[in-house]
Amino acid sequence: MEAEHPTKYYSSLKEFQEAELIFHNYQKTHNIIRNDYLNLIELTFESKNDQKAFNTLYRACLRELFSLIESDLFNLNRLDSYQNYSDRDKFMVKFKKTFKQIAKTWEKTDIQKEYFDSDLERLKTIKTERDRITHPKSPNDFKVTTIDDFNTFKRVFNEYDGFINKMMNGFFIGMKNYPIS
């Protein structure tokens, strides 16, 4: 019996059980990082009047956002990888291809397209900023953080958070020929 909602089906019990474990671990990992991240955002905001702490915590926020996203990409590709997937692909290539693949499999291309059309450029901008502080070439790569920087960054996080929640809503896996006779 086919489901009424988009589902990725696996051919064997072993494949399905592996996918269940990946999916379960993905959800737990995402939620741990996300909760830590929400606490970090709160601590950063609370430090807005201490420039040194605000700068440091803002940079930690930038790094942690991409830890969250990279974890999501890795695990989603374990469930349904795009053609010729490599964990060594550049971040934006991997991001676009992963979510296009996930959107295709789980029939969420409208959600993926909406995010890519309206929010992806801000994510790219924040990614460039993250790259500068993660791989600094000079002291100029570290700027004095403003509340506007923080609010822009928070907007990017909220957009991604909303996007991933929409993508994962109604996200099902199943097994072909179930129940087993």
Tokens of 30: 């995402």
In a domain, 19, yes or no: yes
Number of domains in the chain: 1
Distance (Å, rounded) from C-alpha 29 to C-alpha 163?
Answer: 17
Q: How far is it, in rounded angstroms, from Cα 53 to Cα 56? A: 5
Q: Is residue 146 part of a domain?
A: yes
Structure tokens at 52: 């040194």
Q: Is residue 2 part of a domain?
A: no
Average pLDDT over residues 33-47: 96
pLDDT of residue 131: 93
- CB 121 within 8 Å of CB 108: no
Q: Calculate the average pLDDT of the chain.
A: 92
pLDDT tens digits, one per residue of 65-108? 999 999 999 999 999 999 999 999 999 999 999 999 999 999 99
Task: Tell me whether residue 117 is in a domain.
Answer: yes
| Average of per-residue pLDDT across 159-177 | 91
pTM recorded for the entire structure: 0.90
Q: Report yes or no on 1 lying in a domain.
A: no
> If pLDDT is split at 50, 70 and 90, which confidence band does 4 have?
low
DSSP string, 142-177: S----HHHHHHHHHHHHHHHHHHHHHHTT-EEEETT
Selection from 6-10, 165-169, 177-181 with the highest mean pLDDT:
165-169
In the chain, what is the straight-line distance between the N-terminal and C-terminal CA atoms, in Å?
Answer: 14
Q: Tell me: the pLDDT tens digits for 124-149?
A: 999 999 999 888 888 888 888 999 99
Domain assignment of residue 50, yes or no: yes
Query: pLDDT-based confidence at 6, cuts 50/70/90?
Result: confident
Q: Domain range holding 159? A: 7-175
Confidence of residue 3 (pLDDT cuts 50, 70, 90): very low
- Asked if 110 contacts 54 with a C-beta cutoff of 8 angstroms, the reply is no
Residue 162 resides in a domain: yes
Q: Is 180 inside any structural domain?
A: no
